[in-house]
Amino acid sequence: MKQVGVIFGGASPEYEVSLESAASVLEVLEGQAYDVSKIGISRNGTWYLVKSDLTAIREDRWLNQETCQKILPDFSGQGFWLSEEKKWLTPDSLFPVLHGKYGEDGCLQGLLEMMGVPYVGCGVAASALCMNKWLLHQFAESIGIKSTPTLMLTAHEDTTKVDAFIEQQGYPLFVKPNEAGSSKGISQVTHSAGLQAALADAFQYCTEVILQKSVSGIEIGCGILGNEELTVGECDEISLVEGFFDYTEKYQLVTAKILVPASLPVVINQQIKERAQLLYRSLGCKGLARLDFFFTDEGEILLNEVNTMPGFTAHSRFPAMLAAVGFSYQQIIQTLLILAEEAHYEKHLLTVS
């Protein structure tokens, strides 16, 4: 029986999202032929082997003395050291279900590489590059994929750059942390009076912030599953009554609706899928990613962002995209574990040879 460790939590503003996603993954794995270990990372970065049930994980009641013991990642290939029991926990593969900072930005992936255990999802370079919106857009432009006009700022940047950008692009515009997910810290600014508050909010999440010209059009997502051979899900479309697809809309769908498949012309749908695959391969993505674009009122296709561990409950966007091409949630999870081992052992063979 394969032993799988599901990692959740972490020191990220998206901690709660991780708990929901991980509980959904665990629910599937615990009903299948897997020996499952729950591995929780507290908000302060301490690792635990967790015995809590799924409800306690979803409700963030998993961290207590009765159901947890501290574990330490090991870099000699033996997995984790259980200090209380004085023994090793050695999973065949790991399924990190963490979103955002320290979980989706290459940090955790680097640690897992040092552990030498197969893990689900993109590697260090792809994770880091996709998380950094500014670098992602520069890279995408180098392979012919456009984004909306963007300016990057640091906290000590001269305001003349901001003034020049606004004079050229005008309002409305978006203010975003350069490295954050789930729309945390993102504001839509429609006039100068709201700019400083938006910048202050964004800088709470990241030391670099980007300003982007607002796009008039619709947001389209494209989910991809695979390593070398890719399965491309149906594109989805975000329909909003007003505002933008912020954190509340993403996870509560107050006025938003997600349409799968997207109501796009066939040619545009195909072009978005082709751009998504080109990006996925060029970035070196493995396992999965959700690539988000804008289809503007002027008929342009513009890159928005790439999520290397998108929201992953059974009802999230990525599973819905794959469901539309015949993959059940259970099949997606099983396939990801297979892909993790394939990527790991292919890399190992290259290293040995």
pLDDT at residue 140 tops 90: yes
Q: Decide if 182 is catalytic.
A: yes
Supply the pLDDT for residue 182: 56
Catalytic residue among 182, 183, 187, 249: 182
pLDDT at residue 353 tops 70: no
pLDDT at residue 109 tops 70: yes
Supply the pLDDT for residue 145: 98
Cα gap 264→333, rounded to integer Å: 28
pLDDT in tens, 294-308: 999 999 999 999 999
Smallest CA-to-CA distance from 308 within 119, 124, 127 is with 127
Confidence of residue 251 (pLDDT cuts 50, 70, 90): very low
Range(s) within the chain of domains with CATH label 3.40.50.20? 2-119
Q: Decide if 76 is catalytic.
A: no
CATH number of the domain located at residue range(s) 2-119 in this protein: 3.40.50.20
Range(s) within the chain of domains with CATH label 3.30.1490.20? 150-213
Using DSSP's 3-state secondary structure scheme, residue 305 falls into strand
Catalytic residue among 12, 14, 24, 37: 14
Over the chain, what is the mean pLDDT? 91
Burial degree of 298 (CB within 10 A; 0-12, 13-18, 19+)? exposed
Known binding-site residue numbers for Mg(2+): 292, 305, 307
Provide the residue type at 16 as one letter: E
Percent of the chain's residues with pLDDT above 90: 75
Which CATH superfamily, name and number, covers 129-146+217-346?
ATP-grasp fold, B domain (3.30.470.20)
Range(s) within the chain of domains with CATH label 3.30.470.20? 129-146+217-346
Q: Decide if 14 is catalytic.
A: yes
Please compute the mean of the pLDDT values over residues 326-331 and round it to a whole number.
Answer: 97
Cα gap 289→267, rounded to integer Å: 22
Known binding-site residue numbers: 292, 305, 307
- The string of DSSP codes covering 15-64 is HHHHHHHHHHHHHHHTTTTEEEEEEEE-TTS-EEEE---HHHHHTT---S
Supply the pLDDT for residue 318: 97
Confidence of residue 159 (pLDDT cuts 50, 70, 90): confident
> Tokens 């032993």 identify what position?
3
CATH number of the domain located at residue range(s) 150-213 in this protein: 3.30.1490.20
Using DSSP's 3-state secondary structure scheme, residue 105 falls into coil
Please compute the mean of the pLDDT values over residues 97-122 and round it to a whole number.
Answer: 96
pLDDT in tens, 181-205: 656 788 899 988 889 899 888 888 8
pLDDT in tens, 82-92: 988 889 999 99
pLDDT at residue 348 tops 70: no
- Among the ranges given (195-209, 219-233, 277-291), the one the predictor scored with the smallest mean pLDDT: 195-209
Supply the pLDDT for residue 255: 57
